């Protein structure tokens, strides 16, 4: 799913009005009607009073349409107009008059803090104050109103986006942002829905297709794309009936040290569970019995050193080398890694201590094979590229880094970001239970297993991150978040492949 900018969505609005021969008021009625349907399907029969806070622009116009529809269906509705300016949009004024025509209970004007209504825990609040056109922080008494709503304990539903949040940037002042429980957003999710600094303001969200111009949306290129089940399914490569293990590649997992052999067992297991035809593991000598016992399907080659890596010698050419898990950052391992980089031409996957070695000796970055995949968590990324001011600054630094070294970077998080030179891919699978030791080692194995099967490195990263998250979701369904371990994520990889092609149940 493409993630459009505010400018692109505003242009899509204009083209839709022109090409569909409708008015902007008609389009607002359509969009707000979809919001009403969602609310009505959940609250039908409820006598709860719904408090709607409307701005004086088009987002406020949406709120007024929703308010009118709710009233027409018998709901208790109280509308508050947040009068932060004397200017009103045309569609706001039209829908203000339409609302007044159906009720004697006219909207209450809020002009300062003395006008703030009482909001209690358990109330249902609809936030329709500011939409995607906002380009400066909310300040003064309006910011105080936002804080008043946030502190109330009410359930907050935001229309299109939480008021105070920008579509693409992290606001300089996050104090003036509505913290929604749920957001119903129009046509496309917004980029800030996925940034660590801003995603908590959005709560859960649902995208409502309001029927904007299809041709424009299809032809318009975006900087970011959300990867869900539908998109991930298209990335899968069918396996041929007439094939053998050699057709699916040979993955080499390199890493481990005394006490940290489990990390490479997790990676190797995940590579095989993802479909790699062969998997070899190179570890210190202390890993031999552990790996052979834990994973009999893997072949094991050992270093001359018992407890750490010192020299990586193999007598075959793997399709992908996955390096770093549990390797440590001692001088011997660092020298072995440098030699491996000099000898390797195919793209690699580098994780964990491999990333820390790159940070420790930045000259090694120039030795990275082109289109290698790096999979840092935020702290590893900071060591690699330096500190950042906010999420926007971080993204700019990552893009500069990947362009300089021609690599793909997977930034792990609640919504993992896959950065390529062309586009940012944002993952939409996974859950909080995956915040557990070894989950990253499993991800490295998944992506490596796909790369060994000749998936393009970008596709392997994007598809691998989605599969990994989906396996975690399946694990959570069975045991809840707290009981998930890295091994359970691996155990559900087969189910994740099956789930890709399982049709959703029709509940109608």
Residues 41-66: tens digit of each pLDDT = 999 888 999 999 999 999 999 999 99
Residues in CB range of 338: below 8 A, 6 or more apart = 361, 364, 367
CA distances from 57 to 29, 87, 196, 263 (A): 15, 8, 28, 54
Which uninterrupted H or E stretch holds 460? helix 457-479
Contact present, 75 and 50 (Cβ < 8 Å): yes
Calpha distance 407→420 (Å, rounded): 7
Predicted local confidence at residue 65, as pLDDT: 98
Adjacent-strand bridge partners of 399: none
Ligand-binding annotation for 73, yes or no, is no
Ligand-binding annotation for 287, yes or no, is no
Ligand-binding annotation for 335, yes or no, is no
Ligand-binding annotation for 16, yes or no, is no
Ligand-binding annotation for 105, yes or no, is no
In this structure, what token pair is assigned to residue 507?
């509940």
Predicted local confidence at residue 175, as pLDDT: 84
Q: Low-confidence residues of the chain, pLDDT below 70?
A: 504-508
Ligand-binding annotation for 133, yes or no, is yes
The 3-state DSSP composition of the chain as helix, strand, coil percent (nearest 5) reads 45, 15, 40
Predicted local confidence at residue 504, as pLDDT: 63
- Of 322, 278, 276, 280, nearest to 302 (Cα)? 280
Ligand-binding annotation for 117, yes or no, is no
Ligand-binding annotation for 45, yes or no, is no
Calpha distance 53→1 (Å, rounded): 30
Ligand-binding annotation for 211, yes or no, is no
- Tokens 């794309």 map to which residue? 225
Ligand-binding annotation for 209, yes or no, is no
Ligand-binding annotation for 250, yes or no, is no
Residues in CB range of 257: below 8 A, 6 or more apart = 284, 307, 308, 309, 326, 327, 328, 333
Ligand-binding annotation for 135, yes or no, is yes
Ligand-binding annotation for 495, yes or no, is no
Calpha distance 324→269 (Å, rounded): 16
Ligand-binding annotation for 428, yes or no, is no
Ligand-binding annotation for 447, yes or no, is no
Ligand-binding annotation for 58, yes or no, is yes
Q: Is 197 exposed, middle or buried (0-12, 13-18, 19+ CB in 10 A)?
A: middle
Alpha helices in 262-375 (DSSP H): 262-273, 288-294, 331-343, 353-360
Residue 44 falls in which region: left (phi positive, over 0), alpha (psi -120 to 50) or beta: beta
- Largest Cα span, the chain: 86
Ligand-binding annotation for 59, yes or no, is yes
Ligand-binding annotation for 74, yes or no, is no
**All structural domains of the chain:** 2-222 (3.40.50.10260), 244-500 (3.40.1190.20)
User: Treating both helix axes as pointing N-terminal to C-terminal, what angle do 378-385 and 353-360 enclose, rounded to 10 degrees?
Assistant: 20
Predicted local confidence at residue 133, as pLDDT: 87
- The DSSP line for 31-88 is HHHHHHHHHHHHHTT--PEEEEEE-SSHHHHHHHHHHHHHHHTT-EEEEEEE-S-S--
Q: Is 183 helix (H, G, I), strand (E, B) or coil?
A: strand
Alpha helices in 158-316 (DSSP H): 214-219, 229-233, 262-273, 288-294
Calpha distance 485→53 (Å, rounded): 44
Predicted local confidence at residue 304, as pLDDT: 96
Ligand-binding annotation for 62, yes or no, is yes
Ligand-binding annotation for 240, yes or no, is no
- The model carries a pTM of 0.94
Ligand-binding annotation for 148, yes or no, is no
Which uninterrupted H or E stretch holds 382? helix 378-385
Ligand-binding annotation for 163, yes or no, is yes
């Amino acid at each position: 799913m493409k993630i459009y900018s505010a400018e692109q969505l505003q242009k899509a609005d204009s083209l839709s009005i022109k090409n569909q021969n409708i008015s902007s008021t008609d389009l607002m009625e359509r969009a707000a009607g979809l919001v009403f349907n969602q609310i009505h399907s959940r609250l039908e029969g409820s006598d709860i009073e719904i408090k709607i806070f409307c701005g004086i622009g088009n987002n406020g116009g949406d709120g007024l349409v929703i308010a009118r529809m709710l009233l027409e269906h018998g709901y208790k509705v109280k509308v508050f107009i947040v009068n932060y300016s004397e200017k009103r949009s045309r569609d706001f004024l039209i829908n203000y008059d339409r609302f007044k025509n159906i009720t004697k209970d006219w909207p209450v004007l809020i002009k300062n803090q003395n006008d703030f209504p009482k909001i209690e825990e358990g109330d249902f609040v609809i936030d329709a104050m500011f939409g995607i056109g906002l380009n400066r922080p909310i300040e003064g008494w309006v910011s105080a109103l936002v804080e008043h709503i946030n502190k109330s304990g009410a359930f907050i539903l935001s229309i299109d986006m939480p008021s105070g949040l920008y579509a693409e940037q992290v606001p300089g002042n996050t104090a003036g942002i509505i913290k929604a429980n749920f957001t119903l957003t129009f046509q496309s999710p917004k980029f800030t829905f996925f940034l660590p600094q801003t995603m908590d303001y959005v709560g859960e969200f649902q995208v409502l297709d309001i029927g904007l111009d299809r041709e424009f949306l299809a032809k318009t290129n975006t900087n970011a794309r959300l990867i869900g089940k539908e998109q991930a399914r298209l990335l899968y490569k069918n396996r041929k009936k007439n094939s053998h293990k050699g057709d699916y590649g040979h993955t080499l997992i390199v890493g481990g040290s005394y006490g940290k052999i489990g990390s490479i067992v997790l990676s190797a297991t995940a590579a095989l569970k993802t479909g790699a035809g062969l998997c070899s593991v190179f570890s210190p000598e202390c890993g031999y019995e552990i790996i052979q016992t834990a994973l009999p399907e893997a072949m094991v080659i050992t270093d001359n050193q018992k407890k750490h890596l010192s020299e990586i010698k193999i007598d075959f050419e793997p399709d992908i080398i996955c390096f770093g898990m549990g390797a440590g950052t001692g001088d011997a391992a660092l020298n072995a890694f440098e030699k491996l980089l000099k000898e390797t031409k195919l793209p690699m996957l580098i994780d964990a201590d491999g990333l820390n070695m790159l940070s420790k000796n930045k000259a090694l970055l120039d030795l990275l094979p082109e289109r290698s995949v790096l999979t840092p968590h935020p702290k590893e990324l900071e060591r690699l590229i330096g500190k950042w001011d906010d999420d926007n600054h971080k993204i700019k630094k990552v893009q500069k880094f990947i362009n300089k070294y021609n690599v793909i970077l997977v930034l792990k998080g609640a919504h993992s970001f896959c950065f390529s030179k062309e586009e940012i891919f944002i993952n939409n699978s996974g859950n909080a239970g995956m915040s557990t030791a070894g989950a990253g080692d499993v991800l490295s194995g998944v992506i490596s297993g796909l790369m060994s099967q000749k998936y393009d490195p970008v596709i392997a990263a994007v598809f691998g991150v989605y599969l990994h998250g989906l396996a975690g979701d399946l694990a959570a369904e069975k045991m809840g978040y707290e009981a998930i371990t890295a091994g359970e994520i691996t155990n559900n990889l087969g189910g994740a492949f099956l789930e890709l092609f399982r049709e959703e149940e029709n509940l109608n």
